[in-house]
Structure 1
């Protein structure tokens, strides 16, 4: 038995974790198909590609807006990764909410953005 055999599992673990480090930048790779531009606030946004979100049947306007934002964010996350899925970073936002009979819904769209690097 070699006196360094105990190190083999540690080296394997270190190699696995070092390969996983680039995954911390959570992107699917699909974002590269869209033209992107730098914008104010140190962010990078899609040039002309929008994502949409919607909600209905909510008890309040606040709940309807939160649900529509979650809809937008969830799909953007699925398609491009969580780096792009922050509504607070999105650009060219458009929001329309309406309520009737105690039920609220919202429709929104925006260009996904991520923090600049």
Structure 2
């Protein structure tokens, strides 16, 4: 009979939903910070980061449903709602920028056409 030697325990790899969910949460936090601190002129960045966060949230929901992890699915849904809100903020900033640009061009055109 051979002697039994002690082997150190092998760490278990983290489940796949950890690798998907936590980067999604971090991306949504970054998107929220970008949306809350951006100027109106930065609407493109807000929309792009919001769409990226929404895509990552959909991936987190899919992995949560596939792995049958309810809390990961709920966190993914909450992240998706926040990401959609960030995209809406970006679209509102785009509309505001467009209206300000149109007002500026109208006033410049009125000044050009003014003949005393």
Higher helix share: 2
Structure with the greater alpha carbon radius of gyration: 2
TM-score by length of structure 1 reads 0.27
TM-score by length of structure 2 reads 0.27
